[in-house]
Amino acid sequence: MAQNTSALLALPTDILVLLPYHLANLEDFKELSSTCRQFRAICHSVSPNLILRLAAASSRTFFRPDPYFLVATTAKQIGYWALRNEENAVQLRQALKHGIGGLFDFRFTVINPVTDLIDRCAGKQWYNVEDFWDGGRSDAETIDCEPERALFEIAIYGSLFHATLEANLEGRRGLDLATRLDFIKYCIPDWYCRDYKGFHVEETGPYSKGRELVEPRMDQYSIRHILKSRTWRTPWEAARKQCGPDFEDDRRQKIWVSAVHMQGLEGFEMLRPDGAIRWREYLLGLREKIEKIDSTKMRSAEKDESGEINWLEFPILEDEIFCCVRGMWGTG
């Protein structure tokens, strides 16, 4: 067994990283991950989409009853999505005709197009342009981005803290900034997320055995780049503009931009052709709530110790990620 493992490890890294994508199920994935440190690191960096597909293949063993357990985890989102318009309902009915497995596969009709968009913001498509470092990209920089993983990380943040957004809009307190930063620190691990004055990262979770398990992941930094990318911002701007002009108040505008993003996986439908039209009624109501916010309540939730940044009480993923990675620039 040791000789076989050594022979595999002698292969080029570009080939080794492809091995998980040729596994049959989660049991094979677990075995590969436990073989040695190098394979463990490779398995640690695979895309969420692969894990989801391996989970589906393993459902008879790990997620009984098969495939009902996995379908149940996404059925609520699918139901809300289908109720938005007749076309969505028709697509769902077509998927249902393929049985419970068809319903599970239907989940990827939204995921795949958004993964492609993220890839054009910070993935292989973004890198694969002529003269990348010499004017081919105005935002050229070194980024290690896994588009599918970034998609799920953005979606989970939006779903997890959507109730906080709603509470803030109604004048109530939601989950505080410290909780949101903990999610980013430990659930979106990043090599650049490190201690600086007023900010601490505990040696737990993904950092419990040192940073070798995190390197070279740049998940936080990649998402910040994506959110600032013109390729990403353009379709979201189109969705917002159908509901009215931008707010002149910078604070309201920042909340508005973030709120539209925070709709979970189903919210990515706004990036599909004509998808934003189907969200117009909801977005109009959301914009109206933001317009009515008492400006005295748009206070800073708290400051970091250096006092350089005022953090809004409302969840703003881009700002919060900056708080987590700003140690890479040094803050004293």
Digit-coded pLDDT (tens) for 196-233: 888 888 888 888 877 666 666 788 989 998 999 998 99
* Mean pLDDT of all residues in 137-146: 74
Percent of the residues in the chain that have a pLDDT greater than 90, as a whole number? 11
Residues 261, 242: Cα–Cα separation, whole Å? 15
Token reading at 64? 């009984």
Token reading at 239? 């969705």
Decide if pLDDT at 73 tops 90.
no
* Omega within 30 of 0 (cis) for the link into 235: no
Q: Which pLDDT value is given to residue 288?
A: 93
Please tell me which of 27-36, 57-66, 183-192, 300-309 the model is most confident about, judged by mean pLDDT: 183-192
Residue among 218, 193, 198, 177 nearest 331 (CA)? 198
Lowest mean pLDDT among 2-11, 125-134, 305-314: 305-314
Q: Which pLDDT value is given to residue 57?
A: 65
Judged by DSSP in three states, 134 sits in helix
Decide if pLDDT at 71 tops 90.
no
Please tell me which of 90-99, 153-162, 208-217 the model is most confident about, judged by mean pLDDT: 153-162
User: How confident is residue 259, by pLDDT bands cut at 50, 70 and 90?
Assistant: very high
User: How confident is residue 1, by pLDDT bands cut at 50, 70 and 90?
Assistant: very low
Q: Which pLDDT value is given to residue 307?
A: 47
Other C-beta atoms lying within 10 Å of the C-beta of residue 7: 9
Token reading at 129? 């342009």
Q: Give per-residue burial for 117-130: e unless 16+ CB within 10 Å, then b.
A: bbbbbbbeebeeee
Q: Which pLDDT value is given to residue 81?
A: 66
Decide if pLDDT at 258 tops 90.
yes
Decide if pLDDT at 98 tops 70.
no
Lowest mean pLDDT among 52-56, 117-121, 315-319: 52-56
Other C-beta atoms lying within 10 Å of the C-beta of residue 149: 23
Residue 330's region, left for phi above 0, alpha for psi from -120 to 50, else beta, is: left
Helix locations, 192-316, DSSP H? 219-228, 230-241, 250-261, 264-267, 275-278, 280-291
Q: Which pLDDT value is given to residue 237?
A: 92
* Mean pLDDT of all residues in 100-108: 64
Angle, vertex CA 270, rays to CA 85 and CA 256, nearest 5: 115
Judged by DSSP in three states, 199 sits in strand
Residue among 298, 321, 327, 312 nearest 176 (CA)? 312
Token reading at 17? 């990283």
Q: What are phi and psi of 300, to 5 degrees?
A: -70, 135
pLDDT in tens, 239-256: 999 888 999 988 889 999
Decide if pLDDT at 115 tops 70.
yes
Contact 145, 177 (CB under 8 A): no
Mean model confidence pLDDT for the chain: 78
User: How confident is residue 58, by pLDDT bands cut at 50, 70 and 90?
Assistant: low
